[in-house]
Amino acid sequence: PRAFTRSTHQYAYVDPADGWVVVDSGTAKKAEDLLSVLRETLGSLRVRPLAVNNAPTSVMTRWLEKTPDAGFELGDECELKEPVDNGGVMRGRRMDLASAEVRSHLDAGMQVAKLAVDWHERIGCVLCDDLGIRRLRFLDLVMQEAADTEADDALARFDADFALMGMELARFIPAVVKAFGGLDEDTETA
Protein backbone atom coordinates (compact mmCIF):
# COMPACT_ATOMS: atom_id res chain seq x y z
CA PRO A 1 0.00 0.00 0.00
CA ARG A 2 1.14 3.49 -0.87
CA ALA A 3 0.04 6.58 0.93
CA PHE A 4 -0.60 9.50 -1.33
CA THR A 5 0.19 12.92 -0.05
CA ARG A 6 -2.22 15.72 -0.57
CA SER A 7 -0.96 19.25 -0.48
CA THR A 8 -3.02 22.34 0.03
CA HIS A 9 -2.29 26.03 -0.25
CA GLN A 10 -3.46 28.49 2.30
CA TYR A 11 -2.73 32.17 2.13
CA ALA A 12 -2.25 34.72 4.85
CA TYR A 13 -1.64 38.42 4.77
CA VAL A 14 0.53 39.98 7.49
CA ASP A 15 0.27 43.73 7.98
CA PRO A 16 2.93 44.65 10.56
CA ALA A 17 2.13 48.36 10.34
CA ASP A 18 -1.43 47.85 11.59
CA GLY A 19 -0.80 44.62 13.49
CA TRP A 20 -3.10 42.36 11.43
CA VAL A 21 -2.70 38.74 10.45
CA VAL A 22 -5.45 37.90 7.98
CA VAL A 23 -5.90 34.24 7.06
CA ASP A 24 -7.79 33.15 3.96
CA SER A 25 -9.65 30.18 5.41
CA GLY A 26 -13.14 28.80 5.45
CA THR A 27 -12.86 27.56 9.03
CA ALA A 28 -11.40 28.78 12.30
CA LYS A 29 -9.53 25.48 12.71
CA LYS A 30 -7.67 25.87 9.41
CA ALA A 31 -6.80 29.45 10.32
CA GLU A 32 -5.49 28.31 13.71
CA ASP A 33 -3.48 25.53 12.02
CA LEU A 34 -1.77 28.13 9.84
CA LEU A 35 -1.09 30.35 12.86
CA SER A 36 0.40 27.34 14.67
CA VAL A 37 2.82 26.77 11.78
CA LEU A 38 3.77 30.46 11.92
CA ARG A 39 4.35 30.19 15.69
CA GLU A 40 6.59 27.14 15.21
CA THR A 41 8.51 28.87 12.43
CA LEU A 42 8.94 32.21 14.20
CA GLY A 43 9.34 30.87 17.73
CA SER A 44 6.33 32.83 18.96
CA LEU A 45 3.44 34.78 17.56
CA ARG A 46 1.16 36.66 19.90
CA VAL A 47 -2.19 37.05 18.20
CA ARG A 48 -5.77 37.45 19.28
CA PRO A 49 -9.05 37.13 17.47
CA LEU A 50 -10.59 40.32 16.23
CA ALA A 51 -12.85 41.85 18.87
CA VAL A 52 -14.87 45.04 18.51
CA ASN A 53 -16.79 47.29 20.88
CA ASN A 54 -20.25 46.99 19.29
CA ALA A 55 -21.96 43.68 18.62
CA PRO A 56 -21.84 43.00 14.87
CA THR A 57 -25.40 41.65 15.03
CA SER A 58 -26.69 44.98 16.37
CA VAL A 59 -24.73 47.06 13.88
CA MET A 60 -25.76 44.98 10.85
CA THR A 61 -29.40 44.92 12.01
CA ARG A 62 -29.33 48.73 12.27
CA TRP A 63 -27.84 48.91 8.77
CA LEU A 64 -30.64 46.77 7.39
CA GLU A 65 -33.34 48.71 9.27
CA LYS A 66 -32.01 52.15 8.40
CA THR A 67 -28.90 52.74 6.34
CA PRO A 68 -25.34 51.39 6.41
CA ASP A 69 -22.37 53.48 7.50
CA ALA A 70 -20.67 55.69 4.92
CA GLY A 71 -18.79 53.72 2.31
CA PHE A 72 -20.88 50.57 2.74
CA GLU A 73 -23.78 49.58 0.52
CA LEU A 74 -26.17 46.70 1.12
CA GLY A 75 -25.82 43.72 -1.17
CA ASP A 76 -28.53 41.23 -2.05
CA GLU A 77 -28.08 38.62 0.65
CA CYS A 78 -28.68 38.26 4.38
CA GLU A 79 -29.29 35.75 7.11
CA LEU A 80 -31.64 36.70 9.93
CA LYS A 81 -31.95 34.79 13.20
CA GLU A 82 -34.27 34.92 16.15
CA PRO A 83 -32.23 35.94 19.23
CA VAL A 84 -33.10 32.77 21.19
CA ASP A 85 -31.52 29.32 21.27
CA ASN A 86 -32.84 27.14 18.46
CA GLY A 87 -34.78 30.10 17.08
CA GLY A 88 -35.86 30.49 13.49
CA VAL A 89 -33.51 31.39 10.66
CA MET A 90 -34.34 33.21 7.43
CA ARG A 91 -31.80 33.14 4.61
CA GLY A 92 -32.22 35.24 1.53
CA ARG A 93 -30.07 35.45 -1.60
CA ARG A 94 -30.51 37.55 -4.71
CA MET A 95 -33.26 39.56 -3.07
CA ASP A 96 -34.11 43.15 -2.32
CA LEU A 97 -33.09 43.63 1.31
CA ALA A 98 -35.45 46.61 1.56
CA SER A 99 -38.44 44.38 0.75
CA ALA A 100 -41.52 44.07 2.94
CA GLU A 101 -40.66 40.42 3.61
CA VAL A 102 -37.27 41.27 5.12
CA ARG A 103 -38.78 44.21 7.00
CA SER A 104 -41.46 41.94 8.53
CA HIS A 105 -38.79 39.58 9.88
CA LEU A 106 -36.92 42.52 11.41
CA ASP A 107 -40.16 43.86 12.90
CA ALA A 108 -40.72 40.42 14.44
CA GLY A 109 -37.41 40.77 16.30
CA MET A 110 -35.05 38.81 14.07
CA GLN A 111 -31.46 40.04 13.94
CA VAL A 112 -28.87 40.01 11.19
CA ALA A 113 -26.30 37.22 11.42
CA LYS A 114 -24.84 37.65 7.92
CA LEU A 115 -25.07 40.56 5.53
CA ALA A 116 -23.74 41.06 2.01
CA VAL A 117 -22.16 44.48 1.54
CA ASP A 118 -20.06 46.38 -0.97
CA TRP A 119 -17.44 48.80 0.25
CA HIS A 120 -16.60 51.90 -1.82
CA GLU A 121 -17.34 49.93 -5.00
CA ARG A 122 -14.00 48.15 -4.46
CA ILE A 123 -14.74 45.13 -2.26
CA GLY A 124 -17.80 42.93 -1.92
CA CYS A 125 -18.25 40.38 0.85
CA VAL A 126 -20.55 38.85 3.41
CA LEU A 127 -19.98 40.18 6.94
CA CYS A 128 -20.78 37.69 9.71
CA ASP A 129 -21.78 38.10 13.34
CA ASP A 130 -18.61 36.24 14.40
CA LEU A 131 -16.57 38.95 12.59
CA GLY A 132 -15.79 36.54 9.77
CA ILE A 133 -15.61 37.99 6.29
CA ARG A 134 -16.89 35.45 3.79
CA ARG A 135 -16.80 35.36 0.01
CA LEU A 136 -14.59 38.44 -0.23
CA ARG A 137 -14.23 39.54 -3.81
CA PHE A 138 -12.70 42.51 -5.50
CA LEU A 139 -15.08 44.56 -7.62
CA ASP A 140 -14.58 46.10 -11.05
CA LEU A 141 -12.45 49.08 -9.97
CA VAL A 142 -9.88 46.85 -8.27
CA MET A 143 -9.99 44.23 -11.01
CA GLN A 144 -9.28 46.93 -13.59
CA GLU A 145 -6.30 48.16 -11.55
CA ALA A 146 -5.00 44.59 -11.41
CA ALA A 147 -5.44 44.18 -15.17
CA ASP A 148 -3.59 47.46 -15.79
CA THR A 149 -0.58 46.25 -13.79
CA GLU A 150 2.11 44.76 -16.01
CA ALA A 151 3.60 41.42 -15.02
CA ASP A 152 6.15 39.39 -16.97
CA ASP A 153 5.21 35.94 -15.66
CA ALA A 154 2.86 34.09 -13.30
CA LEU A 155 4.99 34.84 -10.23
CA ALA A 156 5.15 38.55 -11.02
CA ARG A 157 1.36 38.53 -11.57
CA PHE A 158 0.85 36.82 -8.19
CA ASP A 159 3.11 39.38 -6.48
CA ALA A 160 1.29 42.31 -8.10
CA ASP A 161 -2.15 40.91 -7.26
CA PHE A 162 -1.12 40.11 -3.68
CA ALA A 163 0.29 43.62 -3.20
CA LEU A 164 -2.94 45.14 -4.52
CA MET A 165 -4.96 42.87 -2.23
CA GLY A 166 -2.84 43.95 0.73
CA MET A 167 -3.40 47.62 -0.03
CA GLU A 168 -7.16 47.11 -0.31
CA LEU A 169 -7.38 45.08 2.90
CA ALA A 170 -5.26 47.66 4.74
CA ARG A 171 -8.07 50.15 4.05
CA PHE A 172 -11.07 47.81 4.27
CA ILE A 173 -10.38 46.08 7.60
CA PRO A 174 -10.03 49.33 9.59
CA ALA A 175 -13.28 50.57 7.98
CA VAL A 176 -15.09 47.42 9.15
CA VAL A 177 -13.59 47.73 12.64
CA LYS A 178 -14.61 51.40 12.82
CA ALA A 179 -18.14 50.53 11.68
CA PHE A 180 -18.37 48.04 14.56
CA GLY A 181 -17.29 50.61 17.15
CA GLY A 182 -13.52 50.20 17.05
CA LEU A 183 -11.22 47.58 18.52
CA ASP A 184 -12.01 46.09 21.90
CA GLU A 185 -8.56 46.40 23.45
CA ASP A 186 -9.47 44.25 26.46
CA THR A 187 -9.42 40.96 24.52
CA GLU A 188 -6.60 38.65 25.62
CA THR A 189 -3.72 37.77 23.30
CA ALA A 190 -3.18 34.10 22.50
What average pLDDT score do residues 137-163 get?
Answer: 94
CA dihedral 22, 25, 27, 32 (to 10 degrees): -50
The DSSP call for residue 5 is: P
Identify which of 43, 60, 51, 33 has the alpha carbon closest to the alpha carbon of residue 117.
Answer: 60
pLDDT digits (tens, 9 = 90+) for 7-36: 888 999 889 888 899 999 988 899 999 999
Residue 174 has what pLDDT?
Answer: 95
Q: Global pTM?
A: 0.89
- Rounded distance between C-alpha atoms, residue 107 and residue 153, angstroms: 54
Q: What is the mean pLDDT of the chain?
A: 93
Residue 58 has what pLDDT?
Answer: 97
What share of the chain in percent tops pLDDT 70? 97
- Rounded distance between C-alpha atoms, residue 1 and residue 149, angstroms: 48
Angle between helices 154-179 and 140-148 (to 10 degrees): 150
Assign 182 to helix, strand or coil: coil
Q: How many CA atoms lie within 13 A of 122 on its CB side?
A: 16
| pLDDT of 132 above 80 | yes
| pLDDT of 101 above 70 | yes
